[in-house]
Amino acid sequence: MGKYKEPDIYKKKWYQKNKDRTYQNSQTPEAKKRKIISNKKYSVNHREKILLNKREYTRNHKQEKIAYDQQRRKEHPEIKKEYYNKHKERVLAGCKAREHINIPLGLFCQICNKELATQRHHEDYFKPLEVIFCCRLCHENLDRNRKEREKASPEEMKKAYKNAWKI
Ligand SMILES: [Zn+2]
């Protein structure tokens, strides 16, 4: 005689409630879509937490990250070209600014005024010599909000962008 086992009531209850949650059901296109949407929701709602986690991870694995990036650049030289083709104006503006504008020593970020300014931000890539000196975090925020700012501005702005690029 084997040992008497208490019936696992909770397991059974869970099973009754979630009969549809099988592996096969999770592989249907609809389920996959639902998963993508819920993942997106999570990434929007927990943006700060994810960013902090990422930052901490890269800080703890700095050497590995550098080695990985070098390896990747060697194996896929086309990535750099792709980036250039996609963000031509950004790359060119960055080069111009780095060439001609030095960040003044001891200058504080012009956005938050708390950290030392270490980067140059372009509000308009077609005016490469007009930069805002800012810290890394403020720069990230500025670039992240760029699309929203452009949406808010009138369409003439966009036309002006295009015309400027023709010259
Ligand atoms: Zn700042």
Specify the pTM: 0.51
Ligand 1 center from residue 120 Cα (angstroms): 11
Model confidence at 167, pLDDT cuts 50, 70, 90, reads very low
Ligand 1 center from residue 24 Cα (angstroms): 49
Q: Give 4 or 15, the one with higher predicted confidence.
A: 15
pLDDT of 121 reads 92
Ligand 1 center from residue 49 Cα (angstroms): 19
120 close to 133: Cβ distance less than 8 angstroms: yes
pLDDT of 97 reads 92
pLDDT of 154 reads 64
Q: What is the DSSP letter of 116?
A: B
Cβ density class 90-120: b for 16+ within 10 Å, e for less: eeebbebbeeeeebeeeeebebeeeeebebb
Q: What is the DSSP letter of 108?
A: B
Ligand 1 center from residue 113 Cα (angstroms): 6
Say how far apart CA 69 and CA 62 lie, in whole Å: 11
pLDDT of 47 reads 83
Ligand 1 center from residue 107 Cα (angstroms): 11
pLDDT of 110 reads 87
Domain chopping of the chain, boundaries: 26-75, 89-167
Ligand 1 center from residue 135 Cα (angstroms): 4
Nearest to 138 by CA among 112, 156, 120, 157: 112
Tens-digit pLDDT profile for residues 103-155: 888 899 888 888 889 999 998 888 889 999 998 888 888 888 787 777 666 66
The whole-number average pLDDT for the span 80-92 is 89
Place of tokens 């950004």: 90
Ligand 1 center from residue 131 Cα (angstroms): 14
Ligand 1 center from residue 134 Cα (angstroms): 5
